[in-house]
Amino acid sequence: MRRYILGGLAALAAAGGAFFFLAPYNIAASVPHLPGVANILHGYLGNAVAIRARSIEVPRQVDLQDPGLIRLGAGHFATGCLTCHGAPGIPRNPVVEGMRPAPPLLTSEDYDAKEFWWIARHGFKYTGMPAWPGEKREDEPWALAAFLTQYDSFDREAFEIASFGEAGGYDSAGVRFGGLPGAIEPELACARCHGEDGLGRDGTAPKLAGQSEEWLVTVLEAYATGHRESGFMEPLAAPLGDETIAGIAARYSGMEAGWQGRPLPIGDAARGRELAEQGDEHNDIASCAACHEGAGPDGLSPRRSDTPRISGQDGYWIYNWLKMYRDGPVPTSPRAHLMEAAAKPLSDEDIADLAAWYAGRDGGKRSDP
């Protein structure tokens, strides 16, 4: 019996070796799969996604129905996905239809939100579907998941408004190669998410208006050189030269900082104020206000130009940034190590409380919670 088993294994190894070296299966994209092969591969893909998405939980700061988050997802879809998948009312380019497998036209029925998140975060081997550009940013793909779960509700005009800020923002009949509108004028690309006024399009992106030139240059350079991870920002910042970065920073720093934050539905603003102003010596939590407040006519701007203003920023962004500095990926930009040290002692509740306090700072007023 043992001899038959060994003989069978040897025959199997020989057959496998012959298949590998003689390569009888045609891998050309110009030739369809043999009958049933594509169905098996697609079925396995669907099962693999469903199994891995089961254990995923939607983070507490994520509201998949939030219009700002959906707009952010639409904007990233236009930047990173439209070229292969097309978009509502925008057909694919014939070039990608020659891929095997061809990138599919998407619908909201393909997957649920957790499955869309998993696909956006991890991508697929042996296809053109990449993993998320910000390799360790677990928070960002939820915006794409929020958009994709609403994909079927968008027509072309609604998609253009969400992703480009205006109807007609994509001026082609179908997908074109060579960049999106704003590729020649990066300031226009910034406005797609951050708004023409720098106030973040009602929660679509962080507020930039009135931040210091030095801070904006530091952050843009960090995104451009890989010292700060983000699937949203790294692809857009990578092509920017020093002069362009300086121009963008000057433009947004010169805008009026009339910030009105949007708090999350979690967190205790009163406790957040106490942590922000006094810290917590027992738990080794430093005062946020010591660095991020104390200057400007309202006292809500930082004293140093290499430190960002956070008073009046939306709670969603404050929550995510504090989690990033605490859990990673921590930027390797100048002074980021100081925020890493400040965030390490924070619990999830501390983060929620601080986000509630700072998001509630109304347009420069020192209002009580």
DSSP state of 227: S
C-alpha 103/C-alpha 95 separation (Å) is 11
Average pLDDT over residues 102-131: 94
Per-residue pLDDT at 248 exceeds 60: yes
Q: Nearest to residue 61, comparing CAs of 362, 358, 348?
A: 348
Q: Is 87 helix (H, G, I), strand (E, B) or coil?
A: strand
Asked if residues 85 and 92 have their Cβ atoms less than 8 Å apart, the reply is yes
Beta bridge partners of 87: 90
Q: Amino acid identity of 122?
A: H
Question: pLDDT tens across 163-221, in order?
Answer: 999 998 888 888 887 666 544 466 678 999 999 999 999 999 999 999 999 999 999 99
C-alpha 62/C-alpha 187 separation (Å) is 28
Torsion of CA 115, 146, 140, 96, to 10 degrees: 70
Asked if residues 49 and 137 have their Cβ atoms less than 8 Å apart, the reply is no
Report CA Rg, the chain. 24
Q: What is the enclosing helix (H) or strand (E) of 250? A: helix 242-253
Question: pLDDT tens across 257-287, in order?
Answer: 889 999 999 999 999 999 999 999 999 999 9
Per-residue pLDDT at 1 exceeds 90: no
What global pTM score does this model have? Answer: 0.92
Q: Amino acid identity of 88?
A: P
Residue 185, φ and ψ in degrees, nearest 5: -115, 95
Domains and CATH numbers, the chain: 60-179 (1.10.760.10), 182-258 (1.10.760.10), 269-359 (1.10.760.10)
DSSP state of 294: E
Instruction: Let me know how many helices (H) and strands (E) the chain has, helices first.
Output: 17, 2
State the pLDDT at residue 367.
Answer: 45
